[in-house]
Amino acid sequence: MQSNEEIVKFLGEGAYGFVNLVKYTKRDGSSFHAAVKNSYAEDFENLQKELQILCQLRGYPRIVECFGDYLEEGFSSYGNKVYKLLLEYASEGSLRSFMDNYSDRKLPEPMIRDFTRMILEGLVCIHGHGYVHCDLKPDNLLVIPSRDSSSYELKISDFGNSLEVGEIPHYWRFDLPFVGTPIYMPPESLIDGVVEKTLDLWSLGCLVLEMYTGEIPWLGLDIDDLASRLLYDEAPEIPECVPCDAREFIEKCFSRKPEERGSASELLSHRFLRREEDEKMEKVIAVVEERRNSFLLKLKLRIRGASKKLADVSEKKPLKLKIVPSKAPYFKKVLTKILRLKTMDSYLVCS
């Protein structure tokens, strides 16, 4: 498909290989940039699985886009054979590097709410296809400027550790109990050994907490201390500076019983994620409802007062009605007199 490729720069390195920014020039002269994930032969299966998952999730706005339906082959700078996965390039890098641009790594609250909503939208897609990401963390979330460049979009990437719902990974054993990165893993990862969707929701709670505090969860603990804390169903501490609705959301994600965390779609309706315009509309509706209830109450009181007056009147003596005769008899009497006088005048003239 490509006629020429040029490595622009090195982007990073992970557990399953390294990533380069590559410029591809097609035969018609057009070009595009891609973040190319390179893996060696021993990690081919993981990269192939990631490609298959990304192909199923292709077109969803909160999932990083992959180019092509197969892995490309090439060689590293050392002459080793590598397999390449072409991915959408995120110019702002990972969420971790993006947070480094802010004071104390703390993101603005509106941005935290927007990013949380975007992650959940991505999880709804992933879980809806029967997968669990298993390694949600700032390194695996990519920040991309929106089309108008006034805000940012967040996309979920790196599906190398992803598993199907209910799957038991062969490497989930006591000496290596975590599927993904330990500090973002829930207590059940030490006990159950079965992958469920709620695993990602605990990781989300850790992410939201980190965006507020600027610090990674379980800061200062080694792997043994962390395992001990999780075995006793402990969760990362939420400081008082975190807003009330955000605290409630994080606590929901940190529920000790996985089923109490709900689902990604349910968490999307949490009050922590209500948009500002939705809150304004709710306030308007509340005011209208309050005025309506006030009007109905006043109307009810008026009706009650009128009913009381009618009751008071009925208890008194009946009113005597004065019948005023109509003017018809009086008019008839006058007319009779005039006719009588006219008759007399006629009689006198004749005589």
**For strand 81-87 and strand 152-156, is the pairing parallel, antiparallel, or unpaired?**
unpaired
Q: Find the distance separating the first CA and the last CA of the chain, reported in whole Å.
A: 140
3-state secondary structure (DSSP) of residue 117:
helix
Distances (CA, A) of 167 to 193, 229, 231: 9, 25, 21
Segment 95-99 long-range contacts (CB within 8 Å, at least 24 positions apart): 95/138, 95/139, 95/141, 95/142, 95/143, 95/154, 95/207, 96/137, 96/138, 96/139, 98/143, 98/152, 99/138, 99/210, 99/211, 99/214
Q: Which of 326, 204, 197 is nearest to 254 (CA)?
A: 204
Q: Which residue has the tokens 């339906």?
A: 69
Candidates 43, 114, 135, 200; catalytic one: 135
For the question of residue 135 being annotated catalytic, the response is yes
Is 49 a known ligand-binding residue? no
Question: Residues 7-29, buried b or exposed e (16+ Cβ, 10 A)?
Answer: eeeebeeeebbbbbbbebeeeee
* Contact yes or no for 220/143 (Cβ under 8 A): no
Q: What's the CA angle centered on 169, arms 264 and 46, to 5 degrees?
A: 85
Residues making up the annotated binding site for ATP are 37
Q: Which residues are identified as catalytic?
A: 135
